[in-house]
Amino acid sequence: MSVPMPTSSSSSSTLQSGESRLHPFLATRSSLNLRRRLVNALVVLFTTLAALFAAGLLIYLLCYVLSQGLRYINLDFFTQLPTPNGEPGGGMGEAFQGSLILIALASLMGVPLGLFTGIYLAEFGRGPFAQGVRFLVDVLNGIPTIIFGLLAWVLIVIPMQSFSGLAGGFALGMIMIPIVTRTSEDVLRLVPRELREASLALGATEARTILQIVLPAARNGIITGVVLAMARVAGETAPLLMTAFGTTFWNTDVTQPMDALPLRIFQFTLSPYQQQVNQAYAGAFVLIVLILLASLAVRLAAGGFKQR
């Protein structure tokens, strides 16, 4: 703070105290007051409108998708193959089957790798190497997912000379790694140090402490991260275009092209047959609901985690 001249300082302070004696907080000039209120009201109005707009978009999306596709959601939709040439009936059973297999493959790869990286970063990660890993994981998280498709294409599709579920699972697994890593690192760090010290003070090794005390204490948070990652890759389309590729037949052979829900939605949206376009909306609706459910489950689990 600058030190003003003694005279000016005394005069200004008396003026302020004289004012504040009347009304400590309310401005004396009413025009200023009015403008402040107006600005305040406008800010409230605009932010509220923006929030309404964002929420409205989601509701509109749901309603639209539902109105277009609801008629086509029935048992056949989940259990039948697409009909040839847009004939009535049929479903996209192979897409549900394929998505399940792809997510399982991706989890098989992404969950252990992500979890162990997260454990490393939270428990042992000090120094420049850990900083580097942390940075790379963040970068990985920001990379457009089609790049992972490209990678799987180069590493798996080309050598195997075939599109395959394996390649799709690999690409999705890469996407899962950073999500699982970051969430598990975060929740592992939330486990109180006292708990680790209690275990170590009883003669436990670091490994046992992590496996038997820290991981169980962070279990809900880790599951949250895994579910989030699964929900995220369930909707991925781009990296599957050049890996799993899609098929309209039942397929459990991971070395062969495999269908997936977003792939089928993509194909059917471009279809010349109106019924397939509508089925695409039905598929989109199911996908949105699945992701909504996952988010909801995560919310519940996260709430349970915080309460502890």
* Token output for 19: 């004012």
* Token output for 222: 């880790």
User: Which residues within the stretch 141-170 sit at the binding site for other proteins (CB under 8 A)?
Assistant: none
CB 299, min distance to other proteins, A: 21
Asked if 204 is part of the footprint of other proteins (rule: CB under 8 A), the reply reads yes
CB 208, min distance to other proteins, A: 7
Strand, coil or helix: what is 253?
Answer: coil
Size of the site for other proteins (CB under 8 A): 20
Q: How far apart are CA 106 and CA 113, in angstroms?
A: 11
Asked if 216 is part of the footprint of other proteins (rule: CB under 8 A), the reply reads yes
CB 219, min distance to other proteins, A: 10
Q: How far apart are CA 148 and CA 151, in angstroms?
A: 5
Q: Which is nearer to other proteins, 6 or 128 (CB)?
A: 128
In terms of Cβ atoms closer than 10 Å to its own Cβ (0-12, 13-18, 19+), residue 13 is: exposed
Q: Which stretch binds other proteins (CB under 8 A): 2-10, 67-75, 141-149, 192-200?
A: 192-200
Identified binder of other proteins from the candidate list 126, 207, 272, 307, rule CB under 8 A: 126
Q: Which is nearer to other proteins, 213 or 233 (CB)?
A: 213
Q: Which is nearer to other proteins, 94 or 123 (CB)?
A: 123
Which residues, 6+ apart, have CB-to-CB distance to 206 below 8 Å? 123, 200
CB 229, min distance to other proteins, A: 25
CB 217, min distance to other proteins, A: 6
- C-alpha gyration radius of the chain: 28
Q: Which is nearer to other proteins, 199 or 275 (CB)?
A: 199
Asked if 132 is part of the footprint of other proteins (rule: CB under 8 A), the reply reads no
What are residue 29's DSSP bridge partners?
A: none
Q: Which is nearer to other proteins, 56 or 192 (CB)?
A: 192
- Backbone phi and psi for residue 285, each to the nearest 5 degrees, phi listed first: -60, -45
- Continuous H helices in 70-122: 75-79, 93-119
Q: Which stretch binds other proteins (CB under 8 A): 68-76, 85-93, 181-189, 202-210?
A: 202-210
Strand, coil or helix: what is 73?
Answer: coil
Q: How far apart are CA 206 and CA 197, in angstroms?
A: 10
Residues of the chain by 3-state class (helix, strand, coil), percent to 5? 80, 0, 20
Q: How far apart are CA 276 and CA 248, in angstroms?
A: 13
Identified binder of other proteins from the candidate list 202, 270, 296, 300, rule CB under 8 A: 202
Instruction: Name the one residue in this structure whose structure tokens are 């302070």.
Output: 13
- Backbone phi and psi for residue 245, each to the nearest 5 degrees, phi listed first: 70, -45
Q: Which is nearer to other proteins, 6 or 127 (CB)?
A: 127
Identified binder of other proteins from the candidate list 16, 47, 67, 212, rule CB under 8 A: 212
Q: How far apart are CA 252 and CA 155, in angstroms?
A: 21
Asked if 128 is part of the footprint of other proteins (rule: CB under 8 A), the reply reads no
Asked if 197 is part of the footprint of other proteins (rule: CB under 8 A), the reply reads yes
Identified binder of other proteins from the candidate list 111, 172, 210, 217, rule CB under 8 A: 217
Identified binder of other proteins from the candidate list 192, 211, 293, 299, rule CB under 8 A: 192
Residues making contact with other proteins (CB under 8 A): 126, 192, 194-205, 208, 212-213, 216-217, 308
